[in-house]
Amino acid sequence: MTSEEGTWRRHARGVAPGLSARVGKAIKCFNPNRWGEFLTTELEVSRKNGLLPGVAFLLLTLSAVALFVIPAWIIQPFRYQSPRALSLALTLRQIAPGGTLLAGVVALFLAMGLWPRMSRWKKAATAVGLFFIAAAAVMARTDYFEWMFHPVSAPGFQSVTDSKLDSGEMVLAVRFGNEARAYPIRAMAYHHVVNDVVSGIPIAVTY
């Protein structure tokens, strides 16, 4: 857009709000400098500028969302995971934190640059897009499986006599050196993994 067109466009916006949004059509409006005269211009140029960033923004949004949604959809419980699908899911999960961040930064710059020239609905669409990218970036960094099964941050232990566990309950038991530890299945079936150190040996108790 030339500076002259810019001036006209600002004038158009100032004098006849709403008209300037109709990009690509001739805009006729009052010339504020000369009362009674009209200014007419073609704003075809600004349409050419506007399409590319819009498409780029849309692609960035879709990519960021896909980086979260595709692996989440593949790694679902009660769904068959083929080796190829699993491999794709894990690859996407690996690049998702960086990918969504990059998409977010680029999209934000695009949005900031275009914001003053955007119509109201484009601003709304841009805000929605940015929200989706931000949500994807947060989810890419979130272990949402732990929402359902909370991890054991620091395992605590009881003596045999203090434990209220019923004698018939099953446990996973280890012994290293003189240390013997039992991990009740009842707790393991919920937490699934406990990181521990027994007699100086780091172990991962899994169930």
x-marked contacts with other proteins along 95-134 as a string, rule CB under 8 A? ----------------------------------------
d(Cα 174, Cα 38) in Å, to the nearest integer?
89
Supply the minimum distance, in Å, between the C-beta of residue 177 and other proteins: 12
**179 contributes a contact to other proteins by CB under 8 A:** yes
Supply the minimum distance, in Å, between the C-beta of residue 207 and other proteins: 8
d(Cα 140, Cα 97) in Å, to the nearest integer?
5
* 84 Cβ contact partners less than 8 Å away, ≥ 6 residues apart: none
Residue 163: strand, helix, or coil: coil
Question: Which residue's CB is nearer to other proteins, number 34 or number 150?
Answer: 150
* Cα dihedral sign, 121-123-124-128: positive
d(Cα 159, Cα 182) in Å, to the nearest integer?
10
**DSSP letter at 34?**
S
Residues in contact with other proteins, counted by CB under 8 A, come to a total of 61
The binder of other proteins chosen from 84, 116, 167, 177 (CB under 8 A): 167
**175 contributes a contact to other proteins by CB under 8 A:** yes
x-marked contacts with other proteins along 75-94 as a string, rule CB under 8 A? xxxxxxx----xx--xx-xx
**165 contributes a contact to other proteins by CB under 8 A:** yes
d(Cα 131, Cα 129) in Å, to the nearest integer?
5
d(Cα 32, Cα 35) in Å, to the nearest integer?
6
x-marked contacts with other proteins along 20-49 as a string, rule CB under 8 A? ------------------------------
**200 contributes a contact to other proteins by CB under 8 A:** no
